[in-house]
């Protein structure tokens, strides 16, 4: 009871605001949507258990205790080596008792690669709409499909509250390899450091850049050759996947620019989707049958699905260039990215375009 009172005291105002938002922001979204979001987040807030206390209990499975200890080490590395805003983030654990914590719904017009955006009071406009219930996500996705949109729904194992709450380690990520767990924590903490409301690609590409370099340094310091090899192979496959999907995304975009009848456009779109699947099959042969992306390619490969890959990777070369210009110093890098995020949209876009042009020379 004492812990509950302390939690209510520290998070009470934020909790009240979350509930209030669910009722007053009808002009942006429905009351029902914000209500489920508030309930879902509050369930996580009030379900926290302190990780250090769990470690000290010593009555948990060794595998779980080792994972908790690893997370504490990752937190320390993130703070002292990467300069990320750790504070009390990932110092608590929540068993959400389901496969994913959130299900995101993505949408795009039938003949456009540009994703639909939804706007929120804290995150700004983003290219997805999240639900703490899979059934609720699927119902909303079905409604969008009825309206003629390409729709993709995917489970999410972790997310950032952008500093609004202290983020917790969730049961949904415990089955990940240590380097993958480290990458996830670096990625989500980066969102708290620099976040540009309304620009999903900027935010996710920046966080992915921090994740990649953070994992590289973390593995180098840990000096675990097997982990380094596994991570390098994982990232190599991921990069090949990204190149394949973005190449076809560009092909879809070129198709949609043609002056065709809808029936012909639809037919050629289906053919492109089939060709993409076939090329993935060839890529799998190079991977000696590795099937990590089979689930993704078993889906429709529609415009909404393709947009999810672009958000996390389109600006990676830009942020890599900024990191090099910052002499690979994280504090300098963060300051420069923060400065860029404050620029007017036109200036920022021109800077990104100019940097990409220099890299192509």
- Residue range 273-315, pLDDT digits in tens: 999 999 999 999 999 989 999 999 999 999 999 999 877 888 9
By CB atoms closer than 10 A (0-12, 13-18, 19+), residue 183 is buried
Domain count, the chain: 2
* 3-class secondary-structure state, position 83: coil
- Better-scored residue on pLDDT, 207 or 17: 207
- What percent of the chain has a predicted confidence (pLDDT) above 90? 73
**pTM of this prediction?**
0.86
Q: How confident is the model at residue 26 (pLDDT cuts 50, 70, 90)?
A: very low
Cα gap 113→127, rounded to integer Å: 12
| 188, part of any domain | no
Tokens at 282, concatenated = 């060839």
| 197, part of any domain | no
| pLDDT the model gives residue 142 | 98
DSSP code at position 342? H
pLDDT in tens, 233-251: 998 999 999 999 999 999 9
CA R_g for the chain: 21
Q: How confident is the model at residue 7 (pLDDT cuts 50, 70, 90)?
A: very low
| 277, part of any domain | yes
| 186, part of any domain | no
Give the residue among 213, 161, 190 at the shortest CA–CA distance from 338: 190
| pLDDT the model gives residue 30 | 62
| 187, part of any domain | no
Nearest 5°: CA angle at 74, between 73 and 77?
90
Q: b vs e for 39-74, b when ≥16 Cβ sit within 10 Å of the residue's Cβ?
A: ebbbebbeebeebeebbeeeeeeeeebebbeebeeb
- The strand pair at 92-94 and 49-50 is best described as antiparallel
Residues 101 and 157: beta-carbon distance below 8 Å:
yes
What range does the domain containing 281 cover?
Answer: 227-360
| 24, part of any domain | yes
pLDDT in tens, 58-111: 789 999 999 999 999 999 999 999 999 999 999 999 999 999 999 999 999 999
Tokens at 41, concatenated = 């987040």
| 179, part of any domain | no
From residue 345, alpha-carbon distances to 8, 83, 98 in Å are 40, 27, 40
Q: Where are the beta strands (DSSP E) in 180-286?
A: none
Residues 272 and 168: beta-carbon distance below 8 Å:
no
| 54, part of any domain | no
| pLDDT the model gives residue 225 | 59
Cα dihedral 273, 100, 175, 294, rounded to 10, equals -10
């Amino acid at each position: 009871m004492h812990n509950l009172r302390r939690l209510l005291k520290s998070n009470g105002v934020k909790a009240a605001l979350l509930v209030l938002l669910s009722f007053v922001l009808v002009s942006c979204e429905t009351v029902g949507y914000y209500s489920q979001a508030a309930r879902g987040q509050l369930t996580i807030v009030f379900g926290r258990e302190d990780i250090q206390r769990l470690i000290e209990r010593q009555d948990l499975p060794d595998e779980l205790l080792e994972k908790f200890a690893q997370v504490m080490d990752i937190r320390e590395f993130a703070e002292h080596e990467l300069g990320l805003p750790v504070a009390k983030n990932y110092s608590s654990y929540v068993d959400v008792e389901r496969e994913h914590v959130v299900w995101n719904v993505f949408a795009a017009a039938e003949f456009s690669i540009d994703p639909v955006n939804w706007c929120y009071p804290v995150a700004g406009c983003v290219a997805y709409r999240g639900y703490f219930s899979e059934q609720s996500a699927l119902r909303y996705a079905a409604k969008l499909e009825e309206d003629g949109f390409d729709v993709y729904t995917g489970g999410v194992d972790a997310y950032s509250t952008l500093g609004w709450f202290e983020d917790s380690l969730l049961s949904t990520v415990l089955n990940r390899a240590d380097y993958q767990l480290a990458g996830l924590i670096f990625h989500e903490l980066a969102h708290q450091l620099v976040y540009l409301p309304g620009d999903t690609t900027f935010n996710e590409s920046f966080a992915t850049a921090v994740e990649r370099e953070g994992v590289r340094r973390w593995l180098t310091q840990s000096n675990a050759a097997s982990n380094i090899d596994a991570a390098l192979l994982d990232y190599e496959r991921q990069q090949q996947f990204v190149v394949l999907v973005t190449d076809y995304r560009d092909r879809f975009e070129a198709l949609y620019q043609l002056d065709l009848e809808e029936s012909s456009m639809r037919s050629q779109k289906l053919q492109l989707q089939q060709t993409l699947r076939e090329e993935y099959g060839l890529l799998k042969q190079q991977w000696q049958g590795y099937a990590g992306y089979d689930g993704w390619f078993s889906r429709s490969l529609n415009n909404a699905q393709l947009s999810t890959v672009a958000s996390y990777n389109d600006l990676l070369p830009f942020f890599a260039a900024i990191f090099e210009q910052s002499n690979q110093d994280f504090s300098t890098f963060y300051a420069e990215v923060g400065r860029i995020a404050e620029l007017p949209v036109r200036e920022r876009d021109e800077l990104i375009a100019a940097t990409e042009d220099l890299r192509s020379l």
